[in-house]
A and B are shown apart, each in its own frame.
Chain A
Amino acid sequence: MIRKLWSELVKGLTLENPLMVLMIGLCSALAVSTRAENTIFMGLAATFVLVSSNFIISLIKKVTPNEIRIPIFIVVIASFVTIVDLVLRAYFPVVYSRLGVWIPLIVVNCIILGRAEAFASKRGVLESIADGLGMGLGYIWILFTMGFVRELLGTGKIVFFDRTILSFGPSFEPPVIFILFPGAFLTFGLLMAFVNFVNRRIKK
């Protein structure tokens, strides 16, 4: 049982990574990965919604009529997104103002509805929580890696909570393209090539 749960969790990090392999939830990943600090909050918010909605949806799967399952999933997901939105606004206003529209937009993040439909609506509660957590962590590590690379190359330094933790120094002229949209695609493509290369090795 534990091994089963573990494998459901680990698959989200590598072989079934939502961003790199399933290729869902890309919009938000490309948009918020301009700063490493942002990606952590965005990732945590999405993970919270993912785990909670997977939990509730697997819990009520027996009383969910098949015909209206999608509206029910949406209601559950939207509720959790609104909770995250309100809590961030009340307790982390600075973070909220920086992530702005991307927090409410978690509701249309395909990872969450996708996991509800493909996994949580068919499996047990514990497995669904493990799946949600794995997918969430898979989302976080890719987002963070992208944010780290883009911020470091695009601005020449990494800033966490107004403190510079890593810097190329003033002589480095940062290629601004990395924090613009083309940089998002470049970073994403290269990272995807790398992750899929490693995945292929694992499978062999």
Chain B
Amino acid sequence: MRKILFLGFNLAVICAIAAGALSGVYTLTRERIEKHIWEQQVKAARKVLPEAKEFKLEPRLAKKAQKRFSILDKIFIGFNSKGEIVGYAFQVLPRGYGGPIILMVGISGGEVRGIEVVDLKETPGLGDGILNKGWQKQFLGRTLKDPLEVNKDIDAVSGATISSKAVTNGVKTALQVFEKFATGGSR
């Protein structure tokens, strides 16, 4: 019994020291990490919705929309310099070949304005063909009236059908979220 208490105490001390060191490093790096994440997202949002000057995150709306659209991650509302809503940027996480693809889709007036792959774990040399701007162009101007299906109205990247389908699915979901939940401005 005493032995067990001694061992437990010993382990507790080690864990306490480790926890202390980690909380120190965490405090020192937290601000920078959060800033990077925010900057990265705003950069992507600006690319897909160039007419917006400022972006605001909408966590409550996103939570509501996630109940129906599970791959939706974040919703950003884009404002112009007068503070009017000019469109939305949706971050969606469609499943690709190597895990979720982080995709930003800019939508204004029910129409795709731009897409940007923020991060991906697809096979280098094959699946990362979806990064090609020329390939991404075919999504511009699409609405929910389009079938948005690979090999129908969307050309797949050769050798990367799964990745292409994932991106298409992500764009379609963003359009559906817009249709159901987006309000105000040039809706």
Contact = CB atoms under 8 A, between A and B. Distances in A.
A72 B17 CA distance: 11
A166 interface: no
A56 to B, nearest CB: 10
Interface residues of A, number: 30
Contacts of A167: none
Contacts of A109: none
A121 interface: no
Interface string A53-93: 00000001001110110011001101100110011011101
A7 interface: no
Given A65-B7, A65-B10, A93-B40, A86 B124 contact: no
Interface of B: 6-7, 10-11, 14-15, 18, 21-22, 25-26, 29, 32-33, 36, 40, 119, 121, 123-126
B22 A34 contact: no
A100 interface: yes
B123 A87 contact: no
Contact of B22 (A79, A155, A176): A79
A97 B119 contact: yes
28 contacts: A35-B124, A65-B7, A68-B10, A71-B11, A72-B11, A75-B11, A75-B14, A75-B15, A75-B18, A79-B22, A82-B22, A86-B29, A86-B33, A87-B25, A87-B29, A89-B36, A90-B29, A90-B32, A90-B36, A93-B36, A93-B40, A97-B119, A100-B121, A155-B124, A176-B126, A179-B123, A179-B124, A179-B125
